Amino acid sequence: MIETALPAVGAAAFLGASARWNWWRPVVTDGLMIPTYHKVGDYPEGSRLKALWVTAEEFRWQMEYLVRHGFTTLLFRELEEIRQGKRKMPAKPALVTFDDGYANNYEIAYPIMKEVGVKGNIFLVYETMEQHNAWHNPDTEPWVRMLTWAQVKEMQDSGVVDFGSHTMRHRNLAALPLDEVRWELFESRERLKKQLGQDIPCFAYPYGAGAYKDDVRALAQEAYPFDFAFKQGVMKWPWKPEHGPIKRLYIRGDDNRFDFHLHMTRGKSRF
């Protein structure tokens, strides 16, 4: 199975890798796999966060992997309908998610998803829309363009991409006074709701921060049915808030195809 799924990985490489990778972990069959991306494309000169960039070529291979392996990809609004009992959870579900809302998600990832037949979801930072990733220090991570509302609308209308909240300003919620945390959570929900004309059931914590802080998480839970962490793992289904913030699979730019296979079957690629 492993050999047929991974023609690019030779036997020698496999043996060499076996001490490091989690191939020996049992295959996970009862959860939702949530591959998580940031930027798709070639990383710019001077980037120190190269791992956040996945090339178009690898992204396409990964989307094709999902189709080839029989995953049914969901939109956030479909996940919410399943929670409400209006729709059934498919047999092999996956949620493709993107954090932050970069323009390259529209320019590079969206055409690939549309062509391959995979649905995705983007967590937007409301106040950075149509601008740049101002929360990064441009000396270490060059600024890039964020999505425009016109691009968001086009993707929403296509039925290929749905949207969630990633706060107003991408601040560290674990380090903010609670009234500011509340504003980041509720204001972004209301603004997105108005802008997109639909409910916003999903939220992701910037930097994953605050997900495991009781008072912050209580507010996130008050605002959204689903709160997504940045911790590695599989979302059990049925999921309940008391199971903790939803774990995801962080797909790194330097992951190889065997890593991706392990993410999608074991919920973990490396130690």
Beta carbon of residue 56, minimum distance to Zn ion (angstroms, whole number): 21
- Cβ neighbourhood burial of 245 (10 Å; 0-12, 13-18, 19+): buried
Helix, strand, coil % over all residues of the chain, rounded to 5: 40, 20, 40
Q: Please tell me what DSSP assigns to residue 233.
A: S
Q: Would you say 256 and 221 are in contact if contact means Cβ atoms under 8 Å apart?
A: no
| Chain residues that interact with Zn ion, rule: CB under 5 A | 99-100, 206
- Using the minimum distance from each CB to Zn ion, give the nearer residue, 58 or 100: 100
* Minimum gap (Å) between residue 72 Cβ and Zn ion: 26
Q: Which is nearer to Zn ion, 208 or 267 (CB)?
A: 208
The span from the CA of 133 to the CA of 103, in Å, is: 11
> Quick one: 28 or 49, whose CB is closer to Zn ion?
49
Q: Which two tokens stand for residue 59?
A: 């992204």
What is the token pair recorded at 114? 């549309």
CA separation for the pair 88, 82 (Å, rounded): 6
Closest distance between Zn ion and the C-beta of residue 102, in Å? 10
Alpha helix (H) ranges present in 69-200?
Answer: 76-83, 103-104, 110-116, 149-158, 178-196
Report the residue closest to Zn ion, judged by CB. Answer: 99
**Separation of CA 92 from chain center:** 17
In whole angstroms, how close is the CB of 54 to Zn ion at the nearest point?
15
Q: Which is nearer to Zn ion, 6 or 249 (CB)?
A: 249
Kindly provide the residue ranges of all beta strands, DSSP E only, lying in 153-239, ordered along the sequence: 161-165, 202-204, 226-232, 235-236
Supply the minimum distance, in Å, between the C-beta of residue 101 and Zn ion: 9
Nearer to Zn ion, 23 or 212 (CB): 212
Nearer to Zn ion, 100 or 184 (CB): 100
CB of residue 52 to Zn ion, shortest distance in Å: 9
Are 95 and 32 contacting, i.e. CB atoms less than 8 angstroms apart? yes
Q: Cα separation of 209 and 55, whole Å?
A: 27
**Dist CA 206 CA 67 (whole Å):** 29
61 or 143: CB nearest Zn ion = 143
Minimum CB separation of residue 217 from Zn ion in Å reads 17
